[in-house]
Amino acid sequence: MRVHLCVVGRLRFGPERDLIDDYLKRFDRTGRALGLGPVTLLEVEDRKGGGMAAEAALLRKAIPSGARLCVLDERGKLMSSPDFARQLGEIRDAGTGDLAFVIGGADGIDPSLRAEADMALSFGQMVWPHMLVRVMLSEQLYRAASILAGSPYHRI
């Protein structure tokens, strides 16, 4: 199952980019044997300042046709890491070819795009900077692959 991170904003160089690259590389290595990956990072940028609606239009173009859609949203479902791993495995086992995770811009995700999602995931009730959410999601993807592989990376 191919995994796509469809995100608003371009992340240049820096510690966040280094962490994302490291975790996604680890995910690709660990997930390959599990039928997970590769992961693709698709960054979109609304240069005209059209707000959430314009960002949603750009995100829709970045999401592969037929992909299952998971939005990262503070109103989404809270999950433990093992539950997230199980969910990822179930989506893969259902024969899903593409899974797209969507991270909106500073104002969040347009309600119309949120309504199209198959699921919504939350990293808690606090609002996180969207660039940091990328790091957190990348790490959780790697952790999920590690859990599914039976690796000691995740200890309960």
Annotated binding site for S-adenosyl-L-methionine: which residue ranges?
72, 104, 123-128
Q: Spell out a b/e string for 85-111, using b for 16 or more CB atoms within 10 Å of the CB, else e.
A: bebbbebbeeebebbbbbbbbeebbbe
Known binding residues are: 72, 104, 123-128
Name the strands in the sheet holding 39-44, side by side, starting at the edge strand that comes first in the sequence: 39-44, 2-8, 98-103, 68-78, 119-122
CA distance 26 to 28: 5
Strands (E), the chain: 2-8, 39-44, 68-78, 98-103, 119-122
Is residue 51 within 8 A of residue 107, CB to CB? The reply is yes
Cα 100 vs. chain centroid, distance in angstroms? 7
- Give SS3 for 20: helix
